[in-house]
Amino acid sequence: QVQLVESGGGLVQAGGSLRLSCATSGRTEMSRYDMGWFRQAPGKEREFVAAILANGGTTNYADSVDGRFTISRGSAKSTLYLQMNSLKPEDTAVYYCAADRSGRGLIIGVSRLDYYWGQGTQVTVSS
């Protein structure tokens, strides 16, 4: 079992920056898990934001955030980060951390109910 806890959300003005973190616990071999970020705005479906392979060598981003957001993993692969720059009001959402064993599509943005999910952290960008 894997537990994920997000932090770092908040209120920021358009053009500002935030850094989200996702701490993991429950297993020690997180190096075998792909990890990613999804977000859900009010009245909308959950959507893919960014993902990183278990080895940290490959990343993938949604077109809407490419060039503004950067996903990374800590040295022990047990912490996930999302650096968000040049934030826009349309980035407002609850951001969720996800983890899954490699090869089931997380890196290309597939969302599955049986991923490990965090509880979410609210990001609000004011105009």
Lowest mean pLDDT across 11-20, 25-34, 39-48: 25-34
SS3 content of the chain, % helix, strand, coil (to 5): 5, 50, 45
pLDDT at 121: 98
pLDDT at 75: 78
pLDDT at 28: 65
Amino acid code (one letter) for 57: G
Tell me if 85 sits within 8 A of 18, measured CB to CB: no
- Confidence band (pLDDT; 50, 70, 90) for 26? confident
Q: What is the pLDDT of residues 71-83, one digit of tens each?
A: 999 877 789 999 9
Query: What mean pLDDT comes out for the span 93-121?
Result: 94
- Confidence band (pLDDT; 50, 70, 90) for 65? very high
Tell me if 122 sits within 8 A of 42, measured CB to CB: no
Q: Is 6 helix (H, G, I), strand (E, B) or coil?
A: strand
- Confidence band (pLDDT; 50, 70, 90) for 27? low
Q: What are the φ and ψ backbone dihedral angles of 47, each rounded to 5 degrees?
A: -130, 155
Can you tell me the distance from the alpha carbon of 53 to that of 105, in angstroms, rounded to the nearest whole number? Answer: 10
Average pLDDT score, the chain: 94
